[in-house]
């Protein structure tokens, strides 16, 4: 399991040694069984990787994010974090029959935003919480949200952003039941063409 960072400059060169110090500090705080010493710069879609010895719990990921927030707040840098098995892994989505809104956060300030989101309480929302994968947080609706409902959610999210951080977010709303029906239809079409596969 790996936690990948995407960095948004300026100040990327100033941030790299800070990330190395953060990885070392996190290992010292949590024991050497948490992060591997191989954490470091990578080339490709992501810029930096924290390699875990074992699958991290959501709390371990949150602890790492809190350390990143606290250490990077005074540097002119933005980051997002994505925890995956491999580079090619599909985005983690909630197994739901309902419409789900997914949040991707850009920090510093991710930990404090998620901590505030725990207080989210809107009448048309059943469940919400942390996710691993390309999204950081999910919000499950108990009925199809109108544009006004989505607007109310966005306003609430804006109010929940911590004042001493400049957090950005992207919200994506998907109908999980429609996606499941499309998948079932695609499988049916494959089976009809290749009935013995």
| Digit-coded pLDDT (tens) for 7-30 | 999 999 999 999 999 999 999 888
| Digit-coded pLDDT (tens) for 133-171 | 889 999 999 999 999 999 999 999 999 999 989 999 999
C-alpha–C-alpha distance, residues 52 and 3, integer Å: 8
Q: How confident is the model at residue 177 (pLDDT cuts 50, 70, 90)?
A: low
| Digit-coded pLDDT (tens) for 41-65 | 999 999 999 999 888 989 999 999 9
**Residue whose token pair is 């959501």:** 58
Please report the domains of the chain, with CATH numbers, ordered by start residue.
Answer: 2-84 (3.30.70), 99-182 (3.30.70)
Q: Is 90 exceeded by the pLDDT of residue 188?
A: no
CB-count exposure of residue 82 (10 Å: 0-12, 13-18, 19+): buried
> For helices 58-72 and 110-117, what crossing angle results, to 10°?
130
Q: β-strand 48-51 against 2-8: which pairing, if any?
A: antiparallel
Q: What is the pTM of this model?
A: 0.84
- Name the maximum alpha-carbon separation found in the chain: 61
């Amino acid at each position: 399991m790996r936690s990948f960072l995407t960095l948004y400059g300026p100040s990327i060169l100033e941030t790299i040694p800070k990330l190395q110090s953060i990885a070392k500090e996190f290992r010292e705080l949590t024991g050497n069984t948490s992060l591997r010493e191989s954490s470091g710069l990578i080339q490709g879609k992501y810029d930096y990787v924290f390699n875990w010895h074992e699958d991290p719990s959501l709390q371990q990921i949150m602890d790492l994010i809190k350390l990143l927030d606290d250490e990077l707040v005074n540097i002119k840098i933005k980051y997002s974090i994505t925890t995956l098995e491999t580079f090619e892994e599909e985005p983690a989505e909630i197994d739901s029959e309902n419409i789900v809104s997914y949040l991707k956060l850009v920090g510093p300030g991710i930990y404090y935003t998620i901590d505030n989101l725990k207080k989210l309480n809107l009448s048309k929302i059943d469940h919400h919480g942390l996710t691993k994968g390309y999204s950081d947080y999910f919000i499950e609706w108990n009925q199809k949200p109108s544009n006004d409902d989505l607007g109310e959610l966005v306003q609430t999210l804006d109010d929940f952003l911590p004042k001493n951080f400049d957090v950005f977010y992207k919200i994506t709303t998907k109908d999980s039941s429609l996606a499941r029906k499309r998948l079932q239809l695609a499988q049916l079409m494959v089976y009809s063409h290749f009935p013995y596969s």
